[in-house]
Amino acid sequence: MKKKLLMPTLMGLSATAYAQNTGNAKASKIYVRAGGTYAFPHAGQTSIDQTQFLQGKFQTTETPTSGPDPIYTYSWDLKKASFGGGITAGIAGGYMFTNHLGVEVAASIGLSQKKYNFNDALTYQSPGTGTINDHVKGTFYQKTPVLIMPSVILQTGGRKINVYSRIGIALPVAGKFIMDYERYAFATAGSILYSWSYETKTRFALGLQGALGAQVRIANKISFYVEANGVSLNAYAKSRTMTKYSEDGVDYMYLLTPYEKEVQYDFTGTGTSPNPSTTVPKQAATFSIAYSNIGIGAGLAFDL
């Protein structure tokens, strides 16, 4: 997967902003800020778990022939997905060692994350039943992600207008990757609806984050800020748990074994098929989930 990092660009722009500083005033050493960001997905991936496409559609059609085997035709339209997109709220506190150099620790929480849909359709002929349209719809998103982001701050230090940049690391500390599925089997005799969901937990991950912005002072100790920011982050799956399974609205979770409901992901391992034991989780190769984004943020900063 190709990853495009914006951090070197942000560092170069921050150096330019520093050189343009004029009219500096003594800065408050301690500050807090609060605001929000709308993040656009950046880079991304087309599939996870080696099999599941994330966004777009895949169509399979069976055509009967005079011979023993039918002909299958395929079409697909895939798009990239990154699960860092959406609306986030953040709060941060910082300390300025000088008028131009400081440190900051921020926390952000996802309020409304971007969701991706994928449709997998199969059309085939069933003897005695007729044409079957088997349709699976998947919806994928990150649930309530929380990032801790320590940063180094460089700024011009202007009293009325202050141009700044920050660069640091991104540490995901909470959030789950959700996979919701619905399957419809349409036939001349009616339809059956299957519904199931998974929650995937990820391993510890370390990413990069940065921003370039400007503050405009609107009161003695209050400034309004607007910034462009970005996060570059991938995380590997650790485990997956089925949280729901029903048929036509009837819950059948109680019928499933641990092997059917749980998956443990790792970088190395062995397995057998069929599994000799149904009382232990399934073992599988891990995969990465993309969370990179580019966003526009705004908020208020308060000198203490």
In the chain, DSSP finds a helix count (H) and a strand count (E) of 2, 19
Handedness of CA 264, 270, 274, 278 (dihedral sign): negative
pTM for this prediction: 0.79
Nearest to 168 by CA among 2, 59, 14, 3: 14
**Residue 134 and residue 119 in contact, taking contact as beta carbons nearer than 8 Å:** no
**Residue 276 and residue 282 in contact, taking contact as beta carbons nearer than 8 Å:** no
Residue-wise pLDDT tens digits, 97-148: 999 999 999 999 999 999 999 988 887 776 666 677 788 889 999 999 999 9
> 3-class secondary structure for 95-129?
EECCCCEEEEEEEEEEEEECCEEEEEEEEEEECCC
Q: What are phi and psi of 189, to 5 degrees?
A: -90, -5
Nearest to 6 by CA among 299, 303, 292, 296: 292
Contacts for 210 with CB less than 8 Å, ≥ 6 apart: 6, 7, 10, 11, 151, 165, 166, 167, 168, 229, 230
Residue-wise pLDDT tens digits, 192-228: 788 999 999 999 999 999 999 999 999 999 999 999 9
Task: Give the separation between CA 187 and CA 133, rounded to whole angstroms.
Answer: 7
